Amino acid sequence: MFKHGELLVVSILVGSIARALILRIDYRQFPSYPHSYLIHLTLGAIASTLGALFIPALLAKEYIAVTFLTIGAQQFRDVRSLERDSLNSIEKTELIPRGTAYIEGIAKLFEARNYLALLTALITSLIYYYSDLLWAVIGGVVFAYTLHYFMQGITIAEIAEVKIVPLNIKGMNIGIEQTIILNVGEKSALKKWQEEGIGIKIVPKDENARATLANLGQRQAIIHDLSILMGIKLDQGMQQFTPLARLDLDNGTLNLIIIPQEPDPVFIQKAIKQIPVLESSQRKPLKSKYGQKAAD
User: How do residues 233-290 score in pLDDT, each as one tens digit?
Assistant: 888 878 889 999 999 988 899 999 999 998 899 999 999 999 999 988 887 776 766 5
Separation between Cα atoms, residue 245 and residue 157, nearest integer Å: 18
**How many other C-beta atoms lie within 10 A of the C-beta of residue 200?**
22
Segment 192-223, tens digit of pLDDT: 999 999 999 999 999 999 999 999 999 999 99
Q: Are strands 198-204 and 160-165 parallel, antiparallel or unpaired?
A: antiparallel
Q: Give the lowest-confidence range in 49-63, 176-190, 233-247, 266-280.
A: 49-63
> What is the model's pLDDT at position 112?
87
Does residue 6 register a pLDDT over 70?
yes
Q: Which range has the worst mean pLDDT, 68-82, 142-156, 249-263?
A: 68-82
pTM: 0.86
Average pLDDT of 151-166? 92
Query: Would you say residue 149 has pLDDT above 60?
Result: yes
- Residue 82 pLDDT > 90, yes or no? no
Task: Report yes or no: 29 and 57 within 8 Å, Cβ to Cβ.
Answer: no
What are the structural domain ranges in the chain?
2-152, 157-295
Is the per-residue pLDDT at 2 higher than 60? no
Q: How high is the pLDDT of residue 294?
A: 56
Distance of CA 30 to the CA centre of its chain: 11
d(CA 219, CA 277): 10
Residues 122-151: what's their mean pLDDT?
A: 90
Q: Band of the pLDDT at 158, cuts 50, 70, 90?
A: very high
Distance CA 135, CA 143 (A): 12
Q: Is the dihedral of CA 236, 239, 242, 246 positive or negative?
A: positive
The amino acid present at 77, given as its one-letter code, is R
